[in-house]
Amino acid sequence: MVEYTYLVLRLPRGTTRDTARQILTEHAEHGGWELDRLRLYPDGSRRIQLRRKIIRQVRTF
């Protein structure tokens, strides 16, 4: 079974779509995060949930 770790970002209203895209691109390229959920609220703020796999090392003898 695949396990994930999650990161929640909150962007305030007034954040442009281009700025949000740049933030998500940096997290994806440098941290290995992928978009899980994005919620746009009526006031213009965004709640973004990112995830990445937990890679567990298996001991071999």
Q: Render pLDDT for 9-47 as a digit per residue (tens, 0 to 9).
A: 999 999 999 999 999 999 999 999 999 999 999 999 999
pLDDT at residue 34, as a whole number:
94
pLDDT at residue 2, as a whole number:
82
CA separation, residue 27 to residues 12, 14, 24, 42, 59 (Å):
18, 20, 5, 25, 30
pLDDT at residue 50, as a whole number:
96
Identify the CA nearest to 52 among candidates 7, 8, 4, 9.
4
* 7 band by pLDDT with thresholds 50, 70 and 90: very high
CA 37/CA 49 separation, integer angstroms: 5
pLDDT at residue 23, as a whole number:
94
pTM more than 0.85: no
Beta bridge partners of 39: 47
What are the residue boundaries of the structural domains of the chain, listed by start?
4-53
Backbone phi, psi, residue 18, to 5°: -65, -40
